[in-house]
Structure 1
C-alpha cells in the first residue's frame, strides 16, 4: 500500500480499521504521548521499547507520571486489542505502517549523542516496505534527519520519497499536558524529503492536530524551527536572570517591573529563577552551537545565555551563604527537585547543581518534592529526598524554594516555624511564596520582597 497515494479520509479509515498500523519507537514521554494520541484517534498502535521497565509499565496500561490521559488511552487500547508493546518489531506481523521515531537525542561531552536515533532509524527503515513512512520526532541539529535516513535507506535498498516516505515533524509537548499539546494547543510542524512525503505529512498530522498544520519548505527548516524555539527561551530566561540581578541590587520588585514592561506588545520578558531544566531548553542551544561552529560561526549570545543560566545555582548558594553568615554546619531544606512546577520530572533540574553548591559550602542538605519519591542522583550525593514537608523542614536553618510547585504556595510563616522548630531564613528563587503570609519569617525573594 502506498500511503502517500491515500487522501485524509482513506488514511483515517485504514488507520481505524487496522489496515495501516502506527508503530512508535521509544515509549518515554514523547513516544507514549504519540501512542496515546493515535489510540485516542482510534488507530491500532504498537509501542517498542528495549527498556523492560518502561515497556512493562506501558504494557500494564501505565503512562509517564503526571500524564493521566496517556494512561487512560493505554488502558482503553489494551482492552480493545488495539495496543501492543514489544521489544522489537520483528515480533509482529508485517503490515503497512507509519513508524514514529521518538527516542532521545542528547548532548554529552561536547557532542550531540545520536546513538538511539541511529539505531531506531536503522531498525525502522530495515522493517519498512515500499509505501511505508518513517516520521522523526526528536529535536536534532540541522541536517540530521536527511543524513541518517539517506544512509539507512541506501543500506536497505529503498529510495526515499519513492519507496519510503520520510517525514520530519518535531514534537511540541510539555510535561503534564502532553496529549492536549498535540491534539489542541499547537499546530503540527511538518516537512518531508520530497513532495510525496510532504503530502503524507500534512494529511497524517492533520488527522490529530486540531490547531492545524504548518508545512515547512524543507526538513532542515523544520529542524531549525524547533531548535530556535528552545534557544529563544533559553536566551530570554538568561536575560530575565540578568535583569533580575540588577533589580535585586536596587531593591526593586522585578515582577512589578516585568509586568509593566510586558504591557508593551514588543516586550516579552520571561521569569527569572534557579535555572533551566528538562531535556529541551538546556540542550537545544548546544545543537545550535554545533551547527554554527560547523559553518565557521560563533553564536556568542547563545553561549553567553547558557553560561548565565548554568551559573544561577551557584549565585543562589552564594546568596544563602551571605544572608545566613556562612552555611558550614547549617541544615538546608531545598523545596523542589522537579525542573518545573507540578511535574514529576527532574531531568537536568538545576536543583542538582544547587545541592552540590550547598554541599560544597559545608551545609547539610535535604530535598523535598511532593511528586518525586526516589532519585538515584541525590542518593549518590548521600542527600535525602522526602515527600513529607515536616521531615524536610525539621531543624532547618535555611529553606530554599527551588521549584514552583503549587503545594508550596500554601506555605505560611506559622507552618514554617511550626515544622522547622525555629525561624529559618527562607529564600524564594521562584516568587512562589506570598510575603503577606510570612509573618515572623525572614523572607528573601530574588528581586522581590525582603523582610
Structure 2
C-alpha cells in the first residue's frame, strides 16, 4: 500500500486521521467523465478534498473547466463551484486519462453507459476508462464506479480487467460500486445530501473505504450493501420501479376514451391512499435513465422479465398514441394529416432542462413528418432544435404559421404564454395536462383526461 494512501485507509489508521488526510488533499482524486453528472461530482470532490483532476475526452470541455467555466448548463451553483475550485487550484482537467491515473490514488468513474443498435448495454466507454485507470493503478489505490452498469459488471468484467491490465493482485486495490443518484438541474444538491449514498465493495475493506470517502461528500446517510452487484441493482431497481409505474399510469391513461372519465382525476384521488403512488400518464418517457435501465436487466440476465419488457413497450407506444390522437383530432376537424401543419411544443425530455436524449419528441416529430405534415418544433430551452425533423419556430411565430394542430410533449413554463387569442382554432393534443385555458382552440384532447371542447 502506498505511503499516501496509508494516511487515508488501512485498518491500523484511526478513522479521524484518514478523513483528515482526505480533506487536506493528501489523497489525489481523479474523476473520469465531466458531463452533466461528472462535473458536479468533480466539483464536490474538489470542495471536500482540494486535490482533484477531472478527465474528459472532449478537449472543449477540458479547456472550459481549466478556464474556470462550467460547460454544463442549467445546473444551479455549478458555475460558481467550478470557478472557485479552479481559482483555488483544487480542480484541474485533462484529456490524458493515463496521466491522471498515474497521479491519482482515488479513481472515480462516471461516464455514460448507453445502448448499442441492438438495445444491449454498451460498456465500451466504461471499459476504455478502466483501461486508463489500470495503466496508472498502484497498490493501495481505490476505484469507485458511479456509472450505471448491468448487474455483475463490477465483479465479472471490470475487476478482472483491472487485474489483467494493471498487473496487480485483486486484493491490492479497493473496488466499489457507488451509483450516482442525481438528477439534471439539482446535481450539487443531490450529491451533497438529497438522498442516502449507496456503496458496495468487492470486499469489506473496499466497502469501508467507500463509506469513509462518501461520508465526506454527503450530509446524508451512507448505506453499505453486501457487494457491488447489490449496489448495481439498487440503481437499476430505482429506474425500473419508475418505468413500471409510469407504464401503469400510461395504460390507465388510455382508458379515458373507453370509460369516458378523467383518469387523471381518478389517479389523484387514488393517491390519497398512502400505499398508492401512481404517476401521471403522458406523451412518453425520455432521458438518459428510465428508457435505458430495463435493457440493462432484460438483455443481461437469463431469468425471464415479462413485466419489465411489457412496461417498456407500453411506454414506448405512448409516442405512437400521441401521434394517433393528433391525426384523429385533425380528421375530426376536417383536415388530413398530409395537408396539416403541426406545432410540437417541447422537444427536451424534461421541462427546463436542455437535454434531448431519448426524448419522445424524436419519434413524434419523425412520425408526423413521415405522415406528410408540416412540422414546427417550438422549445425555448433546447439549444439544437435543428436536429429534429421539422422547422424550428418560436411562440411568437405561431400566429403567422397558423398551425392546424398543437401537440404538447414537454411542459415548459413558457407554454403558459401560448398566444391562443391569435390562433385560428387549432386542434390540441396536450400530452402533459399542462396547457392553461386554450380558450380559442378547437378540439382539445388531454392524454389521461380524454377529449374536451373549449367554450
Query: Same-fold call, TM > 0.5?
Result: yes
CA distance in 1, matches of 2:260, 2:47: 51
Write out aligned runs for 1:6-155 (5 A).
8-60=15-67, 61-91=69-99, 94-110=102-118, 111-146=120-155, 147-155=157-165
1:376–1:103 Cα change, 3 Å: farther
CA distance in 2, matches of 1:396, 1:350: 20
Residue 353 of structure 2 is aligned to residue 352 of structure 1: no
Give the SS at the match of 2:439.
coil
CA distance in 2, matches of 1:403, 1:122: 39
Residue 273 of structure 2 is aligned to residue 271 of structure 1: no
1:361 corresponds, among 358, 368, 371, to 371
CA distance in 2, matches of 1:136, 1:86: 19
Say whether the 8 Å CA contact 2:281–2:448 is kept in structure 1. Answer: no
Q: Give the corresponding residue for 1:327.
A: 337
2:429 corresponds, among 427, 430, 433, to 427
Write out aligned runs for 1:24-423 (5 A).
24-60=31-67, 61-91=69-99, 94-110=102-118, 111-146=120-155, 147-160=157-170, 162-292=171-301, 295=302, 297-325=303-331, 326-375=336-385, 377-378=387-388, 381=389, 383-386=390-393, 388-392=394-398, 394-408=401-415, 410-411=416-417, 415-418=419-422, 420=423, 422-423=424-425
Unaligned runs of 5+ in 2: none
Q: Give the corresponding residue for 2:447.
A: 446
Give the SS at the match of 1:29.
coil
* Cα RMSD for the two superposed structures: 1.8
CA distance in 2, matches of 1:299, 1:243: 21
Render the CA deviation track for 1:132-184: whole Å, top value 9, x for unaligned: 11100111111101221222223312123x32110101111111111111112
Unaligned runs of 5+ in 1: none
Say whether the 8 Å CA contact 1:366–1:392 is kept in structure 2. Answer: no
- Number of residue equivalences: 436
Q: How big is the shift at 1:109?
A: 2.3
Q: How big is the shift at 1:45?
A: 1.3
Q: How big is the shift at 1:328?
A: 1.1
Say whether the 8 Å CA contact 1:121–1:149 is kept in structure 2. Answer: no
1:207–1:302 Cα change, 3 Å: same
Give the SS at the match of 1:134.
strand
CA distance in 1, matches of 2:411, 2:105: 42
TM-score by length of 2: 0.91
CA distance in 2, matches of 1:69, 1:261: 38
Q: How big is the shift at 1:8?
A: 4.8
